[in-house]
Amino acid sequence: MTPKAAFDNIVERAERLVAFHGEMAAGLAIVNPMTGPQRNVLNDDLLRSALVLAVAALDRYVHDRVTKGIASAYKKGNLNREQEEFSIPVSLAFEIATRASRAQGEQKQTRAANLVRNQVQEILHKRPFQSWREIEVAFSLIGITGLAGHIQNAAHLGDIGPYKNQLNEIVRTRNLVVHEGHIRRHKRGGKSTLLEIDSATVTGAITYIKGFVGHLETAT
């Protein structure tokens, strides 16, 4: 499989999704000419899209929790290791200082803390918060540690290990969709073939993420 063959496969699937959207949005019958296998791929791509959105929902939730709580968490003092090691680029620190000084000179009501918070939010939104470890670090930044124990108690789990692995497997599948089009890897030649996906897997992933976020909501 050549790089161009993989590209063509993914782009063609994207075009079919757009065509399908147009027919659905217009209330038309699904008449876009497709073979049976092509329609099966389209159906599976709808599932892949649903999985990507579900992980995006989790990522957005964690980012919002962190960006809304990070300023107050740092003001409390007694920082944990992740908080102490979190840093911003030196260039950004100078930019914040310059803006604060300029605002003071112009007698504007601009607080340095607000500038810091806004810039920290920009930094955090460039980081993924999807895997178990990434989410643990994210919550540590707002002073919430011991997340595994909290989830274990909230979900009444005897062993937290399989629960962690389930999240990481969901994220791994999402990454295969987003970064590789969910195409099997081939060392040499060959046609592009897709990795399998089914509605039970995606429904289970969504159910897991909803329950996980429900438990995160109670973590303080």
Q: Enter the pTM of the model.
A: 0.85
Give per-residue pLDDT as tens, 102-134.
Answer: 766 655 555 666 667 777 778 888 889 999 999
Which residue, among 136, 29, 6, has the nearest Cα to 82 in the 3D structure? 136
For residue 163, which amino acid is it?
Y
Question: Which of helix, strand or coil describes residue 183?
Answer: strand
What are the structure tokens assigned to 159, written together? 């062993």
Domain count, the chain: 1
Give per-residue pLDDT as tens, 153-181.
Answer: 999 999 999 999 999 999 999 999 999 99
Q: Quick check: 62 pLDDT over 60?
A: yes
Higher pLDDT, 94 or 62: 62
Radius of gyration of the chain (CA): 23
| Domain coverage including residue 54 | 3-217
When the pLDDT of each residue in the chain is averaged and rounded to a whole number, the result is 87
H or E stretch including 118? helix 112-124
